[in-house]
């Protein structure tokens, strides 16, 4: 009886010590990185995730949002490497920004792969999305949920664009991915890679003529005030977001808290997608009306006009399909066809 009492007491002591060690392994604060701040749906998603995590873990996990990729000096393309290295604990990252390190994420940047929102959902919420999460899990991060920055539309300060010929010689700011350079070069434009922090001053000064971004960014950044008076709705690529946690940070939490963080990410992701599409998708065109009210000429290419853009960029599509992986691209094309 005395031996049994000793064993029970020892077990209880071990549990207490284990709990204390676990509590001590939690940091006072975790760093969450996003590219855009809380004026944008992207940054708001980060704010919401942090809020939900604190609520669901009863304050055990506290998150501080660092927008503008400030943890990597504003360089969007360095973010994924910094997460793997532990410089960043958590992120809601762009598939575009991470694609230089994760070639499969270039899938979403294949020109004119996804014609509508149902096509995006067919990829992120289906087998393709699961396969991409499996790829990320091998890279020292734990992917939890999908969000959305949206379809990237083209604007400029010169003229309405309805064909590749209209883009000839124009300077466009593009993100730091060679796929975007090649796409705009194939259309006859002059692409210039720069961070978003540098893009707005460049647009204001006329150093570049145009840019491509989701409509939510166009509105929140007030791009009509920096010369962007012509907008083309061509849906050429989309930019899904991914909620991730550094693998070592993830391992430091209890299973219960990991599940709480996952559920918080899923909820914040759903809310983010809804917010990113509000006023844009379906019959809701409130955002377009707001843009037009700011004096912007909005051009919606016909099917025939859009086909000219598709044809001009097809060699880029074919080349990058091999880099991404022919099987993955085929799966994506099949999923979209069945949507």
Torsions phi, psi for 336 (to 5 deg): -70, -40
Q: How many CB atoms lie within 10 A of CB 133?
A: 18
Q: How far apart are CA 10 and CA 25, in angstroms?
A: 22
Q: How far apart are CA 234 and CA 92, in angstroms?
A: 25
The pLDDT, as a whole number, for residue 76 is 85
Domains and CATH numbers, the chain: 28-337 (3.40.190.170)
Closest CA to 35 of 232, 204, 212, 242: 242
Collapsing DSSP to helix, strand or coil, 74 comes out as coil
The pLDDT, as a whole number, for residue 195 is 84
The pLDDT, as a whole number, for residue 10 is 45
Would you state the structure tokens that stand for residue 1, as one six-digit string?
A: 């009886």
Q: E strands of 27-156, at which residues?
A: 30-33, 63-66, 90-94, 141-156
Please measure the distance between the N-terminal and C-terminal CA atoms of the chain and give it in whole angstroms.
67
Return averaged pLDDT per consecutive 10 residues of the chain, 339 residues in all: 46 43 76 95 97 98 96 90 96 95 97 97 98 96 97 98 97 93 98 90 96 94 96 96 98 98 98 95 91 96 97 98 98 97
The pLDDT, as a whole number, for residue 14 is 45
The pLDDT, as a whole number, for residue 56 is 98
Would you state the structure tokens that stand for residue 55, as one six-digit string?
A: 């609520």
Spell 187-212 as b/e; 16+ CB within 10 A means b.
bebebbebbbeebbebbeeeebbbbb
CA distances from 271 to 42, 47, 69, 215, 243 (A): 11, 12, 22, 17, 13
In the numeric block, the tokens 């004096």 are attached to 295
Instruction: Report the run of H or E that residue 298 belongs to, with start and end.
Output: strand 297-299
């Amino acid at each position: 009886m005395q031996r049994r009492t000793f064993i029970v007491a020892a077990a209880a002591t071990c549990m207490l010590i284990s709990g204390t060690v676990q509590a001590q392994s939690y940091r006072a604060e975790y760093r969450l990185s996003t590219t855009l701040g809380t004026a944008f749906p992207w940054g708001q998603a980060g704010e919401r995730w942090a809020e939900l995590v604190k609520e669901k873990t009863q304050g055990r996990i506290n998150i501080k949002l660092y927008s503008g990729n400030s943890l990597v000096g504003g360089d969007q393309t360095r973010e994924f490497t910094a997460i793997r290295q532990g410089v960043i604990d958590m992120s809601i990252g762009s598939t575009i920004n991470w694609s230089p390190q994760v070639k499969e994420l270039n899938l979403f940047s294949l020109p004119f792969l996804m014609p509508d929102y149902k096509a995006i959902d067919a990829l992120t919420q289906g087998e393709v999305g699961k396969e991409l999460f499996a790829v990320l899990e091998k890279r020292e991060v734990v992917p939890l949920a999908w969000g959305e920055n949206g379809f990237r539309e083209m604007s400029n300060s010169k003229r309405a664009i309805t064909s590749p010929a209209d883009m000839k010689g124009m300077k466009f700011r593009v993100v730091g991915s060679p796929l975007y350079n090649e796409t705009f070069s194939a259309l006859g434009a002059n692409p210039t890679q720069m961070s978003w922090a540098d893009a707005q001053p460049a647009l204001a000064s006329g150093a570049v003529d145009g840019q491509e971004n989701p409509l939510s960014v166009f509105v929140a950044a007030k791009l009509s005030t920096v010369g962007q008076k012509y907008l083309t709705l061509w849906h050429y690529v989309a930019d899904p977001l991914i909620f991730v946690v550094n693998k070592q940070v993830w391992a430091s939490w209890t299973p219960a808290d990991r599940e709480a963080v996952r559920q918080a990410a899923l909820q914040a992701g759903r809310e983010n997608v809804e917010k990113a599409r509000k006023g844009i998708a379906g019959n809701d065109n409130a955002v377009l009306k707001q843009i037009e009210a700011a004096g912007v000429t909005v051009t919606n290419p016909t099917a025939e006009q859009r086909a000219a853009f598709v044809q001009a960029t097809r060699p880029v599509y074919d080349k990058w399909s091999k880099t991404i992986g022919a099987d993955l691209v085929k799966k994506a094309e099949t999923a979209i066809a069945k949507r």
